[in-house]
Amino acid sequence: MKITITRSEADRMLDHALSERPDEACGLIAGIDREDGVREIKKVYLLTNVDHTNEHFSIDPREHLSAVRDMRANGLKPLGNWHSHPETPSRPSEEDKRLAVDGSASYLILSLADEGNPVLNAFHIEGPEDSREVRKEELQITDR
Amino acid sequence: MKITVAGEKKEYEDQITVAKLIELEKVETPQYVTVSVNEEFIDSAEFDTRRLNDGDEVEFLYFMGGGR
């Protein structure tokens, strides 16, 4: 699947991830699934990692609820989530895979491991918990 | 009774439990789902006993988490 995110939303995500270091940062993504098959992220939600560590993230359920309601009010569809890896590459860890319970979601991972060279990738993860299948999605950062 | 599930108004039998609603709504991997009723989060241990009332607003939220 091809997925797009605007430069401004990607920058908001990056700024939040940098400000949350050394902890992992996290949030949700929302937008539309276009008729041409492209998934378009229109809004990134910057939410609280209630684990407050550099090893795990759990999205604050109350903020999650507020975000879902905001999406609905603005005609946006929940498309998945994003989180940062402050010290490790932009790929799903074993725990990321185990907890990727929504097979329709896109999972964005922003690596800050290489100082000054952040790496953002999107993944589709589905299948049984003990044998998840991971596919990298074609992520494009657009000007608008 | 009428309840709102994920923003959509639906008709259900009176006083069904949260567990029954999860079953009727065919919620996948319910062990990873957080349920709120009128913005109150329901402990999963209460799913079998918590009954819903006319006008309730229910949301199912998939747990979102992971690790490095």
Assigned domain for B8 exists: yes
Whether B67 is in a domain gets the answer no
Of A61, A83, A87, the CB nearest to B34: A61
Binning pLDDT at 50, 70 and 90, where does residue A79 land? very high
How far is the alpha carbon of A110 from chain B, nearest alpha carbon, in Å?
Answer: 11
All structural domains of chain A with their residue ranges: 2-142
In this prediction the pTM is 0.93
- Tell me, yes or no, whether B68 lies in a domain: no
- Picking from A65, A69, A99, the nearest residue to B65 by CB comes out as A99
Please state, in angstroms and rounded to a whole number, the distance separating the CA atoms of residues A80 and A104. Answer: 8
Which residues are bridge partners to A4 per DSSP? Answer: A40, A140
CA distance A18 to A118: 10
Residue A103 token pair = 């097979």
On whether residue B7 sits in a domain, the answer given is: yes
Adjacency order of strands within the sheet including B57-62 = B8-11, B2-5, B57-62, B33-37, B40-42
Whether chain B has a CB inside 8 Å of the CB on A89: the answer is: no
Domain hosting B7: range is 2-62
Q: Quick one: fold of A2-142?
A: Cytidine Deaminase; domain 2 (3.40.140)
Task: Please write down the HEC assignment for all residues of chain A.
Answer: CEEEEEHHHHHHHHHHHHHHCCCCCEEEEEEEECCCCCEEEEEEEEECECCCCCCEEEECHHHHHHHHHHHHHCCCEEEEEEEEECCCCCCCCHHHHHCCCCCCCEEEEEECCCCCCCEEEEEEEECCHHHCEEEEEEEEEECC
Q: Report residue B48's pLDDT band, with 50, 70 and 90 as the boundaries.
A: very high
pLDDT at position A89 is: 96
Residue A130 has a pLDDT of 87
Q: What is the ipTM of this complex?
A: 0.89
Residue B25 sits in a domain whose CATH number is 3.10.20.30
Q: Do A26 and B61 touch (CB under 8 A)?
A: no
Is residue A144 over pLDDT 80? Answer: no
Mean pLDDT of chain B: 94
**Is B45 inside any structural domain?**
yes
- Rounded distance between C-alpha atoms, residue A58 and residue B63, angstroms: 8
The reply to whether B9 falls in a domain is yes
